[in-house]
Structure 1
Amino acid sequence: MFNAEGDFIGRGLPTREDLPTTRIENAFAAYDVFCRVLALRPDDKLLILADKKLDPRVTSAITGLAKARGVKEPLVLMSHTTQHETMPEWAKPHLEEATFVVSTWFCSVLDPFAIRMRREKGQRWIKITYFRDLDLLDTPQARFAPELLGEIIRATARQYPRGRDFSLQFADARGTELGIAVDGGMVDNLLGTTRWKGEMIADQPGCYVHYLPCHGPNLYDRTMVSNDDSVVVPINGVLYPQWAVGFERPFEERIPVVFADDRIVEVGGASRDAEILRDMLVGGQLIELGCGFNPKAPRYEIYPAGSNSPGVLHFGIDLAKPCDYIRRQMPDWEEPPIHMDLITFDSTVTADNTTLIDKGYLTALDDPQVREAARRYGDDVDLLENWPN
């Protein structure tokens, strides 16, 4: 109903204010996920690679859990930044002694030394890019069951063709037509990683897990070619991103980003945003194409590295040179100024004749095994389709 001034009056939806009992219930659900994902053991040697801007309560929460589990002398290495592109030499002796590593540092996933520690020593790693503030425990994404997230990821993995060549295609209403030529060996490399197996708990030798349990695996990344920098992956076509990290608002202009054989060769457009992207991106290489998988991650929150809502994509570009715009706009960004994430919310992604994402909707959410798993934790429609905006 409307009053004489034309203002709407009345209420047609329930209040969003949680009761104190509900808040307690939610808190303990989040604590349980936190404790299970950080699967610390009494014989672990815990090393935390932290930075000056990390909420110290996060460090205290992790060391408190470690002590409760019987871990002796957890060690915290504090750096002035997260932006280490390679593992600092001063950190390596401490890493060699660790069995369990929690890290905020950018180099964690791709640094050869870190990879060797996981592969040869079975070191278990957790990256906490998305757990920089303890108050994040009071969010729906923090209490989303990691086992259910694993089911969603495995359902997506089952959609990839195996043992043959195919094209991974990206399209949208803006005109994106981007393709990645993929062979069976590349898919085996990709899907053989911990995260693509849906292993969201850090209890397996050599694992690399994200916490909060929201950042799923990449639809494409350089693990497909064994992280061999000399391999040129056939990535060709044009991408029209909707937004990028470090920009206050989504782009008003349709800005074409053109790929030719693994590199960005052209950025069109006449706007100021296009000028910035042109200077930033030309010569850059797509190193990871991340996809959101957690239905309770905020849909339109793209900082620091892209939204983790199901079907939202972030195209992670390593730049040809450090970018002054990033240095000015985000001097303390969690990633170094040689990286940029381009975002799309409405992509359609196909692998041969299989649709992985339909206009921004992750089709694995409709997989019968995913629905069955969701019903073990509550209402499947609420859990999988009620996305926070």
Structure 2
Amino acid sequence: MSHTPPTLDDIRESYTATAMPPAKETESTTIRNRFQAYANMNKVFAIKPGDRVAFLTDPRLDRRVVDAISGIARANGAECREFMWPSTRITEIPEVVRPLLEQSDFVVSSWFASTGCPFANKMRKETGQRWVKITYFRNLDVLETPHARFPVELVGEIIRATARLYPRDVNFDMQFTDDRGSDLTIEFTPKMTETLLGISRWRGLNTATEPGCYIHYLPTHGPNLYGQTAHARDPKAFAKMNGVIFPQWAVGFPKPFDEKIGVEFKDDFVSKVHGKSLQAEQMREYLIGGRLQELGCGHNPKAPRYGIYPAGPNSPGGLHFGINALKESAYLRRAIPHWEEPHIHMDLVTFDTTVKAGNTTILDKGFLMSLRDEQVIAAAEKFGDPVELLESYDE
């Protein structure tokens, strides 16, 4: 009897054809992963006995999130109080809320005002109040994701390795380039570098243990390669900056851009938006004169690789150029009316940028160089295979 060898089509169409492990996890693996995420969460929400915990929430937040954090607080002998505002988009802490915060040691917030409001910054600086921003913990189900269980200590080690790439005690140019033609230069002074890297996030602190800390959960959002923190949030200070960025995408737009849209900066401000598409016009309508507030770089290798909602990517090498405009975007008010950020904001996103600080490469075509830092690899070995942990992305 003759034998007919299988064709490639036979192999492809066979129900037995498989070369990869099952996508569905076993129940025991799911349980192990879940408790790893719980352990991370407990480390981040380092609530102490006697802490007075304030929740600043909004109606669209999953109530289970508040219940979960409240459970941690109760287990540690802390008391909780909550103030709900109609949306997260407020940029200042309302007067009616301030007495609550003045009586609090620990703040869990979904509000945009958490980071830029002078009152919030004053409370952290003068009273040592600890804050956790939950922009990326709006649904309890995210605890089932890879980035929720990625070791929080390892996120900190990666961040510290990136910080070591900055030149110290010298002036230098930070340059952003890509194959689309982006070419943006930011002139750094030693004082800017010292101030930027002095904040808790750049020191790799991702647990709310240090007086005056401001951290993100899930770890982490940013930190910023450049931002207003480089000037200690002095509204009159700015960097010498010149050039153009051609973003691949932006929050609030359903798909990446087909057109090469250019956003031109002069010092900290948007001077021009280049492009003829509808998306370019929608950005030009409100971005001219807007200020670059933050230039964040993702540092969690298990964050969704191309997930940019609500505030930009958290995967290593993903950049978001966060701009605050002078007026609200009519387009964003229509497209994402319940956005967690104010409609004056815009997060432009790239995944393939090369970033150099002086002669040192921080990103190489979107690859975060600190992932191959010797100290990072040594730290990763304590938790598993460094290659899997650091370079196997959630795509």
Measured against the shorter chain, the TM-score band is over 0.9
Please state how far the C-alpha of 1:2 moved relative to its aligned partner: 3.7
Q: Indicate which of 195, 215, 218 corresponds to 1:209.
A: 215
Please state how far the C-alpha of 1:110 moved relative to its aligned partner: 1.3
Matched, 1:49 2:60: no
Q: Indicate which of 120, 144, 152 corresponds to 1:146.
A: 152
Map of 1:320 onto structure 2: 326
Distance change in 2, residues 1:142/1:5 (3 Å): closer
Q: Indicate which of 298, 301, 324 corresponds to 1:295.
A: 301
Q: Secondary structure at the match of 1:175?
A: coil
Map of 1:26 onto structure 2: 33
Q: Secondary structure at the match of 1:109?
A: helix
Please state how far the C-alpha of 1:285 moved relative to its aligned partner: 0.9
Task: For 1:19, give the aligned amino acid.
Answer: T
Map of 2:175 onto structure 1: 169
Q: Secondary structure at the match of 2:174?
A: strand
| C-alpha distance in 2 between matches for 1:99 and 1:6 | 60
Deviation by residue 1:219-276 (Cα, 9 ceiling, x = unmatched): 0111111211112321110100000000000000111111112211111111111111
Deviation by residue 1:119-142 (Cα, 9 ceiling, x = unmatched): 110000000000000000000100
Map of 1:77 onto structure 2: 83
Whether the aligned pair in 1 keeps the contact of 2:206 and 2:216 (CA below 8 Å) is yes
Map of 2:381 onto structure 1: 375
**Aligned-residue CA RMSD (Å):** 1.2
Please state how far the C-alpha of 1:7 moved relative to its aligned partner: 4.7
Whether the aligned pair in 2 keeps the contact of 1:153 and 1:216 (CA below 8 Å) is no
Deviation by residue 1:329-364 (Cα, 9 ceiling, x = unmatched): 111110001111000000000000000000000000
1:244-263 aligned at under 5 Å gives the runs 244-263=250-269
Matched, 1:335 2:332: no
| C-alpha distance in 2 between matches for 1:188 and 1:360 | 25
Task: For 2:37, give the aligned amino acid.
Answer: A
| C-alpha distance in 1 between matches for 2:387 and 2:12 | 35
Map of 2:3 onto structure 1: none
Deviation by residue 1:173-201 (Cα, 9 ceiling, x = unmatched): 00000010110000110000000000111
Map of 2:19 onto structure 1: 12
Map of 2:111 onto structure 1: 105
| C-alpha distance in 2 between matches for 1:5 and 1:65 | 52
| C-alpha distance in 2 between matches for 1:332 and 1:277 | 19
Whether the aligned pair in 2 keeps the contact of 1:291 and 1:313 (CA below 8 Å) is yes
Please state how far the C-alpha of 1:5 moved relative to its aligned partner: 11
Matched, 1:86 2:92: yes
Deviation by residue 1:11-63 (Cα, 9 ceiling, x = unmatched): 11111110000000001000000111100011100001000000000000011
Q: How many residues align?
A: 388
Matched, 1:267 2:273: yes
| Greater shift in the superposed pair: 3-12 or 353-362 | 3-12
Map of 1:58 onto structure 2: 65
Map of 1:183 onto structure 2: 189
| C-alpha distance in 1 between matches for 2:306 and 2:12 | 31
Whether the aligned pair in 2 keeps the contact of 1:141 and 1:214 (CA below 8 Å) is no
| C-alpha distance in 2 between matches for 1:365 and 1:89 | 44
Please state how far the C-alpha of 1:323 moved relative to its aligned partner: 1.1
Please state how far the C-alpha of 1:214 moved relative to its aligned partner: 2.5
Matched, 1:121 2:136: no
Task: For 1:24, give the aligned amino acid.
Answer: I
| C-alpha distance in 1 between matches for 2:308 and 2:355 | 20
Please state how far the C-alpha of 1:320 moved relative to its aligned partner: 1.7
Q: Secondary structure at the match of 2:294?
A: strand
| C-alpha distance in 1 between matches for 2:140 and 2:285 | 37
Runs of 4 or more consecutive aligned structure 1 residues displaced over 3 Å after TM superposition? 1-9
Task: For 2:122, give the aligned amino acid.
Answer: R
Please state how far the C-alpha of 1:155 moved relative to its aligned partner: 0.3
| C-alpha distance in 2 between matches for 1:331 and 1:209 | 26
Please state how far the C-alpha of 1:280 moved relative to its aligned partner: 2.5
Q: Secondary structure at the match of 2:332?
A: helix
Q: Secondary structure at the match of 1:60?
A: helix
Whether the aligned pair in 2 keeps the contact of 1:221 and 1:289 (CA below 8 Å) is yes
Q: Secondary structure at the match of 2:205?
A: coil
Q: Which structure 1 residue ranges, 5 or more long, are not aligned?
A: none
Q: Indicate which of 131, 134, 138 corresponds to 2:140.
A: 134
Q: TM-score with structure 1 length normalisation?
A: 0.98
| C-alpha distance in 2 between matches for 1:95 and 1:2 | 66
Structure possessing the higher radius of gyration over alpha carbons: 2
Q: Indicate which of 235, 238, 246 corresponds to 1:229.
A: 235
| C-alpha distance in 1 between matches for 2:29 and 2:11 | 38
Task: For 2:69, give the aligned amino acid.
Answer: I
Task: For 1:282, give the aligned amino acid.
Answer: I
Task: For 2:75, give the aligned amino acid.
Answer: A
Q: TM-score with structure 2 length normalisation?
A: 0.96
Please state how far the C-alpha of 1:117 moved relative to its aligned partner: 0.5
Map of 2:4 onto structure 1: none
